[in-house]
């Protein structure tokens, strides 16, 4: 580690956005800690680091576990004594009509997508505050801007991330800490295929069964036409290298269109547009 080298932590780095963001940050000089719950998934990261001789270190961190988070941050601090960037990326999707979702399924989703983000952020804040500098990037989603059928649980976690981020930006600004939201649309990763499907939503006798089949088919089609993962990584890199980053970065042509429509359309018009997209 060189004297002026900045340190970045990325959660959920074993694949998709987290993997690409870790590589992108390392290529741009950050000593990058690629963290993941399951180290069995680390060979892809290791291979990328070795191929390009990138400054990437792999650390086990389960964002849903207090001790795991604390241990990971302690390990990083013992090696570097600083944290300049945190990218909260760990998360997954859950699909199912609201009535078909169990409370346990919703809790598991929140534990990763929201409380995991809170847990890691609170662990690094004392470090950044002492430094009087740092940038926190919370990977939200277009789903943090509007709802859609079958997405009530996932959407609500992202709405929570949006509100949390916006609120703490006021609190942390005076300490030199910048807080940013990156909002991807459909991205060509394994995210859609890996999405959890609520148990009751898989029952063909569910009153929402036909609707959910249509939604899943449409989601798969939109994912095929999604943006490349580099679109998100570039937004993250822009945010963490800017002296005055934006609060929000849209990542993908689809989410740019939806966000523009959300601003210009009436609620009824926007509702009808989403309804048509998912039917």
Q: DSSP secondary structure string, 110-153?
A: HIIIIIIHHHHHHHHHHHHHHHT-EEEEEE--GGGT---TT-HH
What does the alpha-carbon distance between residue 205 and residue 220 come to, in Å, rounded to a whole number? 23
What does the alpha-carbon distance between residue 17 and residue 139 come to, in Å, rounded to a whole number? 9
**Hey, which residues are catalytic here?**
154
In the chain, at which residue ranges do the beta strands (DSSP E only) sit? 7-10, 31-36, 56-60, 85-88, 94-95, 134-139, 177-184, 196-197, 248-251
What does the alpha-carbon distance between residue 260 and residue 251 come to, in Å, rounded to a whole number? 13
Q: What is the DSSP letter of 187?
A: B
pLDDT tens-digit map of 15-42: 999 999 999 999 999 999 999 999 999 9
So what's the pLDDT on residue 1? 64
So what's the pLDDT on residue 84? 98
So what's the pLDDT on residue 39? 96
Q: For the chain, which ranges sit under pLDDT 50?
A: none
So what's the pLDDT on residue 2? 67
So what's the pLDDT on residue 223? 86
CA Rg, the chain, in Å?
A: 19
Q: Which residues in 188-198 are b (16+ Cβ under 10 Å) and which e? A: bbebbeebbbb
CATH number for the domain whose boundaries are 7-254: 3.40.50.720
pLDDT tens-digit map of 220-263: 888 888 999 999 999 999 999 999 999 999 999 999 999 999 99
Contacts by 156-164 with C-beta closer than 8 Å and gap 24+?
Answer: 157/91, 157/109, 157/110, 157/113, 157/114, 158/113, 160/110, 160/114, 161/113, 161/114, 161/117, 164/114, 164/117, 164/118, 164/138
What residue spans define the domains of the chain? 7-254
Its pTM stands at 0.96
């Amino acid at each position: 580690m060189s004297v002026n080298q900045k340190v970045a932590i990325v959660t959920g780095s074993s694949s998709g956005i987290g993997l690409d963001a870790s590589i992108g940050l390392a290529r741009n000089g950050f000593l990058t800690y690629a963290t993941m719950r399951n180290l069995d998934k680390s060979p892809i990261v290791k291979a990328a680091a070795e191929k390009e001789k990138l400054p990437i270190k792999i650390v086990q961190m389960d964002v849903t576990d207090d001790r795991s988070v604390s241990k990971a941050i302690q390990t990083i601090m013992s090696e570097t004594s600083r944290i300049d960037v945190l990218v909260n990326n760990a998360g997954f999707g859950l699909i199912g009509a609201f009535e078909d979702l169990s409370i346990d399924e919703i809790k598991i989703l929140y534990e990763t997508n929201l409380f995991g983000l809170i847990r890691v952020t609170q662990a690094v804040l004392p470090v950044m505050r002492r430094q009087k500098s740092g940038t926190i990037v919370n990977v939200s989603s277009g789903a943090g801007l509007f709802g859609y059928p079958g997405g009530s649980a996932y959407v609500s976690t992202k709405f929570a991330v949006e509100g949390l981020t916006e609120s703490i930006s006021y609190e942390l600004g005076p300490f030199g800490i910048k807080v940013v939201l990156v909002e991807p649309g459909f991205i060509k990763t394994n995210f859609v295929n890996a999405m959890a499907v609520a148990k009751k939503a898989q029952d063909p006798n569910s009153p929402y069964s036909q609707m959910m089949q249509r939604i899943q088919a449409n989601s798969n089609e939109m994912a095929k036409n999604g943006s490349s993962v580099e679109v998100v990584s570039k937004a993250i890199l822009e945010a963490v290298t800017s002296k005055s980053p934006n609060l929000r970065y849209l990542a993908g042509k689809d989410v740019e269109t939806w966000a523009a429509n959300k601003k210009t359309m009436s609620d009824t018009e926007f509702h009808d547009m989403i309804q048509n997209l998912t039917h």
